[in-house]
Amino acid sequence: MSLNVPTMAELAARGESAEVLFWVGCAGSFDERAKKVTKAVAKLLNQAGVSFAVLGAEESCTGDPARRAGNEFLFQMQALTNIEVLNGYGVQKIVAACPHCFNTLKNEYPELGGSYEVFHHSQFIEQLLRDGRLRVEGGSFKGKRIVFHDPCYLGRVNGEYEAPRALLEKLDAEIHEMKRSKKNGFCCGAGGAQIFKEPEAGTAEVHHVRAEEALATGADVIAVGCPFCKLMLTDGVTHHGKEGQVQVLDIAEAIATANEL
């Protein structure tokens, strides 16, 4: 299936506009593993007939890692620039495929003049399902064991635990929970700019511990909702020698696979 993904600039040039902006994020734009998630989201939006666009070359880091590393100046540079672009296009609705972008757009941009209705992709896709605009075919995951790892910035920080699980329920699979899930979900170790630096000295790596916990459920698939969790847990699964046996998939990838997109 070929993708139909216009940019906001292209639409504006044609005098058109989109119902929703798909915020791709840096990992989703450049990291090979995260790009698969980006494409899965785009395919699902296409399949549901959603009128959407991306910013493309006009998108810029939301500033989340800079702010959490303590660089308020760089964060606000990014935020105020992005807000100018978003407001310039009259954007009202945003769907983000990264909980960090989602959180920053939703909770931190309003204070700086950027107020939008912001969804995480799991929320948006679940809404499409409830509205009957999208169906999940199921089948390919039938009988598989799936465990969901809550991303901190979707779950604990923004209180969304159900949308991703509701989507996974549609896959005809066995859904399992880790000992620490939802509010008590254990971090993958990437947040707060950690993914860009070497960890401090310790006795273990956070992502190894979390991957071990996920593997202990006997899962065939570890489902995630964040590109950074995906990178960290994929590495964790490899560390435990389970690559090739256990997949780490974003919810969007799982749904797109089920729909044979």
Residue 85 engages another protein in binding (rule: CB under 8 A): no
CA distance 18 to 26: 22
DSSP letters, 133-194, are: S------TTTT-EEEEPPPTTTTTTT---HHHHHHHHTTTSEEE--SS-GGGPPP-S-TTTG
Binding residues among 208-247 for another protein as defined by CB under 8 A? 209-210
Q: Minimum distance from CB of 68 to another protein (Å)?
A: 5
Residue 194 engages another protein in binding (rule: CB under 8 A): yes
Binding residues among 110-139 for another protein as defined by CB under 8 A? 111-112
Return the DSSP state at 54: B
Residue 206 engages another protein in binding (rule: CB under 8 A): yes
Among 16, 19, 72, 169, binds another protein (CB under 8 A): 72
Residues that contact another protein, how many (by CB under 8 A): 71
Is the separation of the CB atoms in 114 and 154 below 8 Å?
no
Binding residues among 146-175 for another protein as defined by CB under 8 A? 152-153, 156-158
Q: Rounding to the nearest 10 degrees, give the CA dihedral for residues 190, 196, 200, 204.
A: 40
- 70, two tokens: 């303590």
- String marking each residue 32-61 x if it binds another protein according to CB under 8 A: ---x--xx--x-----------xxxx-xxx
Residue 30 engages another protein in binding (rule: CB under 8 A): yes
Among 137, 205, 212, 220, binds another protein (CB under 8 A): 205
Element (H, E) at 248: strand 247-250
Residue 177 engages another protein in binding (rule: CB under 8 A): no
